[in-house]
Structure 1
Amino acid sequence: MSRLRTALPAGFAAATALVLVASPAVAHGGGRPDPKPPAVTDVVGGLVGPLSAAVGPRGTTYVTQDFAALVTAVRPDGTTTVLHAAEGGAEAAGVSYADRTLTFTETFYGTSPVSESAVVKTVRTDRAGNPVGEPTVLADIHAYETANNPDGGVSYGLLETDPACVAQVPAEPVSPLYTGHLDSHPYATTSSHGTTYVADAGANAILAIDRRGVRTVAVLPSQPYVITAALAAEVGWPECTVGETYWFESVPTDVEVGPWGQLYVSVLPGGPEDPTLGGRGIVYTVDPWRGKVRQLASGFVGATDLAVTERGTVYVAEMFGGKISVIERGAPRTLVDVPLPGAVEWTGKGLVATTNALPGEGAPPDGHLVTVTTGPSRGHGHGGWHRGWGDDDRHGPGSWFDRGKR
């Protein structure tokens, strides 16, 4: 993370007051508690903005401390080792691990509201998961964005509103009409069969990196929202906008490879990220070969990360909902309540997750890595084919995650 945001969206204070406690899961059909409700166990605390994580060998979990620009290894006993420190104020994020290779991203903002550089880096590891040699650049995502701008042809805003009404809408704090602009923020990575997939929260797209270079897999669909009288009054919009549809950017926060090679993608809506406008987060599946995007589930309050089991069960970290959910029949069901979850990963036996991923107002960063048991039946079901405005974005209401989360 390039810098710690000084004005947290409304709802953060309430979210940070949540207690780390497991909610009893409900058994299918009978309405009775599962024999073994989810249990949350603390592994380590004191992390500075742990917004992404990856499962490594021998019980190791790799965690990015985004606010401190660090990639850290956490052993099962809670001991930590810094594996990489991004230089020059760059953000370290998007860690993943596959085939004895550690992959992560670095994005630099400087004083600009859009990124000045963004790359994906890799480093080989030994059998214990320790880096061998120095990280190297796998791909220059900023250069690809500059040359291609995947969502440059996508229009956002009041697309179906009378132009006479749009003309009355002030340019600040929210642009009434605009097209996708140049910005790259590679926020999550995953690799499979020689291809690394990237969720780019600036480009609003899923990218793929292989031996041929970088390509766009899919640009994610924009998200409609009907403007209410209260929202129009809050942002100083004229009465003619009430009842009109505003099309927000779709900001990907994670990408994972699921069964049969399908990609699973979690998405934050542009605009307010807390519950102000309701649960607008979505999980999509993306065909990595044809780029077809299908909605798997919606209704998430801040879908900042997801995990997919080998059988297709999908877990989602709802940062601003204060919980980790499991997708059932196209909708989220609370698995466990945890404060401000940033990342969630499937280990093969249960989940690891980061909590307290953002600091409370006036409180020092104290992110945690935890393990979460999922009960005897979790991980084997099939999940299916699965407030503040974006004030960092002078072009339009993207997302705090979209614009460097600063």
Structure 2
Amino acid sequence: MKQFRALGAGIAALALILATPTMASAGQKPKPAPGPVVKSSQVVAPFNLDIDGRDVHVADGFAGIVGTLAADGSITPTVNPAPGASGVEVSQNGRTLAFTTTEGEMEITASGLNLWGPRGSKVYADTLAYEQANNPDQDVAYGVENPSQCVSDALTAAGFPVSYTGLVDSHAYSVTQWGRQWVIADAGANALLAADSAGRVSTLAVFPAQPTTITSEMAAALSLPDCVVGIPYRFEAVPTDVEVGRDGMLYVTTLPGGPESPVLGARGALWRVNPWNGSATQIATGFLGATNLAIGQRGEIYVAEYFASAISVVRNGTKSHFLDLTNVVAIEAGRGGSLWAGTTISLDPAGPQVPGTIVEIVNGKWHKKASFRH
């Protein structure tokens, strides 16, 4: 649903409802390595990180800047202002800075990919304009197929759209480089978009609807009547991050649309997308707020679960717990097995108040120095 696709606003609004777990309860023994080493507590919402040589780049969406991490933990702005910044990536040759920005709250007024290159060159790939002209998921059916009057009335009263196809909406959230193209995870379009160096946008892949059968427990939690029980509701698959694997395939995390809370279960997913033909295959599910991913040295995939305050790892399609990390929203891999993560400030006034951070996650011999490159 549209109100859950604007990730920055969605995370802020939904986190007010959810109690955020802390990293360890009082009296428990500290968790053994791997463990996070705080490199900065001077960020607000570091939605994405990129490691380029000795530089750690960050897109801080709430601060509205793109910058680099300094030795003292401060963030040196590279782009300021960068309204609604969320994705950041430095090109493989180190000559182009790519970052996504999105403006507007209840209604998106601008969204796209910025490509800043040598000698002051600046190119803007307008994903909102592309969405308005093409709407890649316009043929994807969401909601309930052939609903009864009771189901229609109940869903409408609860604020769920009953039956609809893809809406016109763009939120260019994350970006990665694939060959000579830039691949954008557009959380509004429910698609992966490709942009070339001239800013021309095309559709690379569209994600299918994500059906969830409403159980009696779900209906009770959402105050829905019995006529809704057993009905499959097709939620939107909302892409949040995209990375290139060693096999040349694209790996993508998605939120499941609808209420992002334990009420409907942990429904976030991890996908493998063939960039040559756009086919998408779900390889793991069961994530509670899959906002970012990183690919490890041995092909394992780490997933940041924002609403679980945890990082999971997927090996051969099997998901397991890796590390508790409060408010984790971003994760990035570096050479040597090191991982970097970004956490947001506390958004739940009733929960523990913590700052936003950038951390390096170390595990024995992993921790050598902060000098890594993709």
TM-score, normalization: structure 1? 0.79
**Match for residue 118 of structure 1?**
111
Among residues 340, 344, 352, which one is paired with 2:327 in the alignment? Answer: 340
Among residues 332, 340, 352, which one is paired with 2:340 in the alignment? Answer: 352
Q: What are structure 2's unaligned runs of at least 5 residues? A: 1-6, 368-374
How many angstroms does 1:244 deviate by?
0.9
Distance 1:348 1:102 in 2: 20
**Match for residue 105 of structure 1?**
100
Asked if 1:92 is matched to 2:85, the reply is: yes
Distance 1:181 1:93 in 2: 22
* Greater alpha carbon shift after TM alignment, 326-335 vs 240-249: 326-335
Distance 1:305 1:189 in 2: 11
Distance 2:10 2:160 in 1: 22
Alignment of 1:362-373 (within 5 A): 366-373=355-362
Distance 1:150 1:315 in 2: 28
Distance 2:65 2:303 in 1: 24
Task: Mark the CA change 1:76 to 1:341 in structure 2 (over 3 Å): closer, same or farther.
Answer: same
Contact 1:326 1:335 in 2 (8 A): yes
SS at match of 1:93: coil
How many angstroms does 1:56 deviate by?
1.9
Asked if 1:153 is matched to 2:146, the reply is: no
SS at match of 2:49: strand
**Match for residue 129 of structure 1?**
none
Q: What per-residue deviation string (whole Å, max 9, x for no partner) do you get for residues 38-81 of structure 1?
A: 121010103111111111222x1111111111112103452420
Asked if 1:42 is matched to 2:38, the reply is: yes
**Match for residue 23 of structure 2?**
18
Aligned AA for 2:104? Y
Distance 1:300 1:259 in 2: 23
Alignment of 1:382-397 (within 5 A): none
How many angstroms does 1:308 deviate by?
1.2
Q: What are structure 1's unaligned runs of at least 5 residues? A: 25-36, 126-131, 379-406
* Greater alpha carbon shift after TM alignment, 329-338 vs 254-263: 329-338
Task: Mark the CA change 1:201 to 1:277 in structure 2 (over 3 Å): closer, same or farther.
Answer: same
Aligned AA for 1:140? D
CA RMSD of the aligned region, Å?
2.7
Aligned AA for 2:115? T
How many angstroms does 1:376 deviate by?
5.9
How many angstroms does 1:83 deviate by?
1.1
How many angstroms does 1:5 deviate by?
7.0
Aligned AA for 2:191? A
Among residues 51, 62, 66, which one is paired with 1:67 in the alignment? Answer: 62
Asked if 1:169 is matched to 2:158, the reply is: no
Contact 1:168 1:238 in 2 (8 A): no
Contact 1:22 1:39 in 2 (8 A): no
**Match for residue 285 of structure 1?**
272
Distance 1:86 1:346 in 2: 27
Contact 1:359 1:365 in 2 (8 A): no
**Match for residue 230 of structure 2?**
243
Task: Mark the CA change 1:352 to 1:331 in structure 2 (over 3 Å): closer, same or farther.
Answer: same
Asked if 1:264 is matched to 2:270, the reply is: no
Asked if 1:324 is matched to 2:311, the reply is: yes
Contact 2:34 2:361 in 1 (8 A): yes
Distance 1:175 1:13 in 2: 27
Q: What per-residue deviation string (whole Å, max 9, x for no partner) do you get for residues 78-126 of structure 1?
A: 2420111236xx311111122212111111115xx2311112102237x
Q: What per-residue deviation string (whole Å, max 9, x for no partner) do you get for residues 191-247 of structure 1?
A: 132110000000000111125721111111211111123433444533211111111
How many angstroms does 1:281 deviate by?
1.0
Aligned AA for 1:64? A
SS at match of 1:44: strand
Task: Mark the CA change 1:52 to 1:179 in structure 2 (over 3 Å): closer, same or farther.
Answer: same
How many angstroms does 1:22 deviate by?
6.8
Aligned AA for 1:246? Y
SS at match of 1:259: coil
**Match for residue 209 of structure 1?**
195
Aligned AA for 1:369? I
How many angstroms does 1:275 deviate by?
2.4
Task: Mark the CA change 1:19 to 1:218 in structure 2 (over 3 Å): closer, same or farther.
Answer: same
Contact 1:70 1:86 in 2 (8 A): yes
**Match for residue 4 of structure 2?**
none
SS at match of 1:260: coil
Report % sequence identity. 38
* Greater alpha carbon shift after TM alignment, 303-312 vs 341-350: 303-312
How many angstroms does 1:164 deviate by?
3.9
**Match for residue 371 of structure 2?**
none
Distance 1:2 1:356 in 2: 11
SS at match of 1:14: coil
How many angstroms does 1:375 deviate by?
5.5
Contact 1:351 1:374 in 2 (8 A): no
Contact 1:42 1:371 in 2 (8 A): yes
* Greater alpha carbon shift after TM alignment, 255-264 vs 323-332: 323-332
